[in-house]
Structure 1
């Protein structure tokens, strides 16, 4: 099924924005010493960075820091990003991985916002439902985009063995690493995605196969 990333991005951003009416000082568990305000600034500046990557075709833009009144500023970054991404998704853009088009940023910002929306709702002890199909796409993005990027930047070593991730709620699977998988991890698409992004422990209890090789392959860091 083809995902409408722009519509999904708008929905994720709207849900994140709703969190900004709550306590901005609440700590974000999986983002170091950040609080919700810091998370909003990070996501908003990322919105402006991605918009500039499309409009000016460069990746060296550094957005200014957010003002004290962050909610209206964040709303403006949403407007800038979504209006920028309304153009033909095949339009050329600066990206840090293929495809070198607007389509990359529709997907990337959608999945980035998905994770940080979960961060915000988790911190506020709000229900945080994650769409299984979108999470499956996020698993694919980690394997196809982020793991090779981490290796290329010298932040991680290339996995020596392959591990299969199987989403029990989708019936889909993805393979990280070279050759035939030596092990398999199973779980819902959301649980697997959150584990890959360090939001939950890797579901080692479900692992079938070579435990040592799987742990070595997933030592990471897998994302940044």
Structure 2
């Protein structure tokens, strides 16, 4: 996938929601947050990731920007621009700090695209526009894979959750792809379009049936 192009497009769309949306609107799947808090969170994450690329450590932090629309939008666009510039200047295989198993810049191209992809859904949902969130099956499945291979194992490693009490076989109905989340019995299947599976794993869409019972036994994402 062309990660830089995807990141540019998705950050631009996110900024547009901040620029024209109701900043006081609650974000349905982020309890206690309004669009303002969501915008500031995503700005901070972009700035933090840019520091990981350029300074090689996880210590980057920036002061909050103002919560008025002009400051919020300008701050977000600046952070996204700094991140994009850093990634464009850094070869995908260049060594940088990450929280993943491979300390390469390519990690942040993928991670930040997936980060803002989910939060674009949140931003649109806060405006009653969730139906406008459309991702390709390939991007959706990549996000599913990221949960299975990065976030779920990390949740267990950090002691944030116990392992799933069973295995969920995730099947993308719009791609010839499947993978197992977990490694114990019982094995249950969760089949849906890849983008829907991604939303389910991140708690943005409900899961029904036996898979819901298994997924309820662990926090597979932060």
Match of 1:53 in 2: 52
- Alpha-carbon deviations, 1:190-223, whole Å to 9, x = none? 111101000011142xxxxxx38x7335522111
The CA deviation at 1:30 is: 0.6
Match of 1:37 in 2: 36
Match of 2:95 in 1: 92
Give the 3-state SS of the residue equivalent to 1:85 in structure 2: helix
Query: Following the alignment from structure 2 to structure 1, what is the Cα–Cα distance between the partners of residues 59 and 197?
Result: 32
1:111 paired residue among 114, 121, 131? 114
Structure 1 gap segments, 5+ residues each = 205-210
Contact 1:52 1:61 in 2 (8 A): yes
Residue 150 of structure 2 is aligned to residue 151 of structure 1? no
The CA deviation at 1:91 is: 0.8
Match of 1:129 in 2: 134
Match of 2:78 in 1: 76
Structure 2 gap segments, 5+ residues each = none
The CA deviation at 1:153 is: 1.2
Query: Following the alignment from structure 1 to structure 2, what is the Cα–Cα distance between the partners of residues 140 and 65?
Result: 32
Contact 2:155 2:221 in 1 (8 A): yes
Match of 1:178 in 2: 183
Root-mean-square deviation over aligned CA pairs: 1.7
Contact 1:136 1:193 in 2 (8 A): yes
Ranges of 4+ aligned residues in structure 1 off by more than 4 Å: none
The verdict on how the C-alpha distance between 1:189 and 1:83 changes in structure 2, with shifts beyond 3 A counting, is same
TM-score by length of 1: 0.91
Query: Following the alignment from structure 1 to structure 2, what is the Cα–Cα distance between the partners of residues 153 and 100?
Result: 18
Contact 2:169 2:188 in 1 (8 A): yes
Residue 68 of structure 2 is aligned to residue 63 of structure 1? no
Match of 2:3 in 1: 5
> Greater helix percent: which structure?
2
Give the 3-state SS of the residue equivalent to 1:136 in structure 2: helix
